[in-house]
Chain A
Amino acid sequence: MAFHSMVFLYGFLPAVILCYFLLPARWRTGRNCILLIFSLGFYAWGGIWALPVLLASCAVNCLAGLGCAPGRPWGRAVYWCGVGVNIAALAYYKYTGFFLENLQALGMEVTIPSIVLPAGISFFTFQAVAYLTDVRRGTIPPERNPGKLTLFMVFFPQLLQGPILRYGAFAPALDDRRENSSAAAQGATRFCFGLAKKVLLADALGTIADAAFSSGDRLTVALAWLGAIAYSLQLYFDFSGYTDMAIGLGRIFGLPIPENFCYPYAAVSVTDFWRRWHQTLSFWFRDYVYIPLGGNRCSRRRQVVNLAAVWLLTGLWHGAAWTFVLWGGYYALLLMGEKFLWGRGLARLPMPVRRLYAVLAAVVGWVIFRSADLAQAGAMLQGMFGFAPGGLWSGEAAYYLLQFRWELLVAIPACLPVKVWLEEQLRRGAEQGRRLQAVVLALGPKVLVFGLLGWSSVRLLSSTFRSFLYFQF
């Protein structure tokens, strides 16, 4: 079930909220049970076939967590077995087809089975590995209550697309949290803003991106840039919109879901970009791959190997295709370059130049990321840099600019910290006793919520359904 479906917005969501808040707050276990039942229903809505995979993962990790704690006999072996089972499941569902396709391309006669990826497996597997590792390291105690661990794994706001949770940060709230109207109002507001980001901006911009990436011989320089920029914005508003909805829902139920984005297109370097984009994934790779491999505290050669390994895995995590491997390699090179070659020089450049460099690097990266294959990536990049089969400009580019001018006009400032600046101005005005600014600050977002929810709902009714982009990863 998608957050931006009518069934979720006007069926599932009011049902879970009513059931949850009709139980007295002191019945903490009951409220957790409500969330668990609805989360499993949420997952099963897309097909019950995938539910056993999710529940098996929960069961295995619950047992492995109990067995791998420091001091337990065979703890290390249990830990590696647990991690192995998680990775094996992910590898089977996600990479079998890719692996066999490549064997086939090498001339081997293999049959490629049709394996359907259980939704969210990349996310819940990473959460499980993080849990086992934290238990093994002694950072957190193993969870003895399987219900709580299952809720951590399947909590519906983050089940399909993250953010990737850590049990140490999530678990305390399972026993001790206080839902209140202020947090719920903030959460509802954030949810509706996230919905609008997805429905009103990302989906419209996706139309431009789809057209540009499938234009073939009609591709012009203008269309290539328009498509690349539109996709960069689409991906941001799609994924950050989902994250806003997840965080908002978490707040309504009093459960903490970490931030995942911090205005990545305002970054001043590629290194900075990855501190701001999909933060929970970056932190996961840092804490569970990069640092265990030696991180920065090793020779330069080893650091290069570590970075390459992390980015190869990051690329592959996003999808089983050579474009993702290339995309990971692209970032590995850029990050190594900033670390060892041009990072200091870059820091001395004027801020606008640094920002332009970072955003251009990201846009080029997203072109590789979005392309169906290496040939399409090559054609798009060639087009962007002047070698487009259709020339410089076309009516198609003009049409998409004209048709989606409002979305582009809103999306560009909205992906920069304009909102933060605006809030700051209003807050300052309110502190200086300006009543209008105080009213706008207090009521503006709440009034906007109704408009955005209504408009998003109408757009959902009138447009073809588009799933979230990160849903496929």
Chain B
Amino acid sequence: MERICNRIFLGILLAVVLAVPAGVALWGRHQTTAYYENRALAQLPEVTAQALLDGSFGTEAESWYADHIPGRTTLLMLDTFVQMDVLRRPVVNDTVVGGDVLVPFLSFKEWTAADYAANAGPISQDYGHLSDYVEENGGTLYFVGIPEQRIYFEDTFPDYLNNHATEAEAADSIFFAALKEQGVSCIDMGAIYDAQGHPDTYYSAVDHHYNYYGAYAAYRAILETLEEDGWDLPVLTEEDLTFEELPNPYIGSRNRKLYNLWPNEDKAIIATQKDPVAFTRTDEGEPSDKPLFILPAAEDLPTTYNLYMGGDFGETVLETHRPELPDVLIVGDSFTNALETLLYASFDETRILDLRHYTQCSLKDYIGQYQPDIVLCVQNDTFYYTTTGNGAVWTD
């Protein structure tokens, strides 16, 4: 009996360990992306003498194999469920799951104010150079700082975790002070949101961006600043817009890390213009018929923040063919996407650059070429001190 039992046990175990390579060969190897992890799967490495000699072939092959295990996404989803709902860990997949909103798990290590002060100088000098250059080309530069969701909801972190609130406050104030010293006009949306009562409704509970209400508040704050500076621009008021909560499930970047398993009622919001401002659009230099909001085909299909303008592009140009209005250049990452759907209506030509993806020329050359009347550098506050991507604003 024991012998039979052992043989059955060994047979099943062998079948299990053989099923995996068979599954990889039949199905797994065809997959190329991991949607929930927001990354491309590892590629099968090339067999070269050097790779075999130094062991890099083995390392890369292990990554490829682990990435292409059949049912990998389902297994990881199951693991996330167990970690979150059975073991009830406070942090799952680097996301804090205990509160009313999802925020990222942050390192306990903090930068000091002195660290920020040391970095703020050279970075603000770059913005100073850029501001001077924009002025030389007949325009004005504005820096628009927007709090990231984790900063906006810093009070929702459990007491035992580090929300970096003190650090963020110091970093922001040092940065804006340095920009002002360089003569750069600044719009600090953190302060503006606070003055408006810091409404919870401005930000998503499951995504690192603001939602459309937060974007609209930013839009109004930008236009008020421009008006104060003498620009006479048409404004989309609340009466001009119909705000609408989409019925579709909304997959935010934070909940995406949790395989969308965190229960929530968050919905994507859009605002349609009652009297729409017509536009033509080009993306990456090619004519595009994409609308301002890319809506799912059915109500039960999920949507993401990418619904605004269809996500990130290196360069997008929106023309409203109203030469009496000024031209604007918006530089920034995905935080600009929701803003763009509103801002374009106040300008003749709206050029949008995401320097993470735009590689054709430097921002300086781009400004020299198109000479926009207004340049808006839109950054979320976790990227104020970055000097790459959209932080690479100046090259001599």
Contacts and interface: CB of A to CB of B under 8 A. Distances in A.
Given A11-B21, A449-B13, A395 B162 contact: yes
> Contact size class for A?
35 or more
Interface stretch (B53-61, B118-126, B143-151): B53-61
A399 B109 contact: no
A219 B136 CA distance: 53
Contacts of A7: 58, 61-62, 65-66
B90 A403 contact: yes
B274 interface: no
A461 B2 contact: no
> Contact size class for B?
35 or more
A185 interface: yes
B160 A395 contact: yes
Given A14-B14, A185-B6, A402 B90 contact: yes
Given A17-B14, A47-B53, A406-B87, A462 B76 contact: yes
Nearest to B76: A462
A218 B109 contact: yes
B288 to A, nearest CB: 38
A45 B87 CA distance: 36
A182 interface: yes
12 contacts: A7-B65, A10-B69, A11-B21, A48-B55, A49-B54, A49-B55, A395-B108, A396-B160, A399-B90, A399-B161, A449-B13, A453-B13
Given A182-B6, A185-B6, A462-B79, 9 more contacts: A5-B62, A7-B66, A9-B20, A10-B24, A14-B14, A216-B109, A396-B160, A403-B89, A446-B5
A427 interface: no
B79 A398 contact: no
Interface of A is mostly: helix
A402 B78 CA distance: 21
B76 A396 contact: no
B3 A182 contact: yes
A6 B6 contact: no
Contact of B161 (A1, A47, A395, A457): A395
Given A403-B90, A458-B79, A211 B9 contact: no
A127 B159 CA distance: 53
Contacts of A47: 52-55, 58
A347 interface: no
Contacts of B79: 458-459, 461-462
Given A7-B61, A184-B10, A449-B13, A443 B159 contact: no
A233 B220 CA distance: 57
Contacts of A461: 66, 69, 72, 75-76, 79
Contacts, number: 119
A443 B5 contact: yes
Interface string A385-403: 0000000000110110011
B271 interface: no
A422 to B, nearest CB: 20
Contacts of B14: 14, 17
Interface string B5-47: 1110110111011101100100000000000000000000000
A220 to B, nearest CB: 11
B91 interface: yes
Contacts of A188: 9-10, 13
A13 interface: yes
A13 B20 CA distance: 12
A340 interface: no
A458 B55 CA distance: 25
Interface in A1-45: 1, 5-7, 9-11, 13-14, 17-18, 44-45
Contacts of A5: 62, 66
Contacts of A443: 5
Nearest to B1: A442
Contacts of B3: 181-182
A46 interface: yes
Given A6-B65, A185-B9, A48 B52 contact: yes
B166 to A, nearest CB: 13
A460 interface: yes
A403 B14 CA distance: 35
B79 to A, nearest CB: 5
A386 to B, nearest CB: 21
Most buried by B among A14, A44, A182: A14
B259 to A, nearest CB: 11
Given A6-B66, A182-B2, A461-B66, A218 B53 contact: no
B233 to A, nearest CB: 47
Contacts of B75: 457-458, 461
Contacts of A449: 9, 13
Nearest to B3: A181
A410 to B, nearest CB: 11
A14 B9 CA distance: 15
A348 B383 CA distance: 64
Nearest to B162: A395
A396 B17 contact: no
Contacts of A13: 17
A208 B96 CA distance: 17
Interface string B61-86: 11001100100100110111000000
A450 interface: yes
B109 to A, nearest CB: 7
Interface string B89-124: 111010000000000000011000000000000000
Contacts of B6: 181-182, 184-185
Given A6-B65, A181-B3, A14 B17 contact: yes
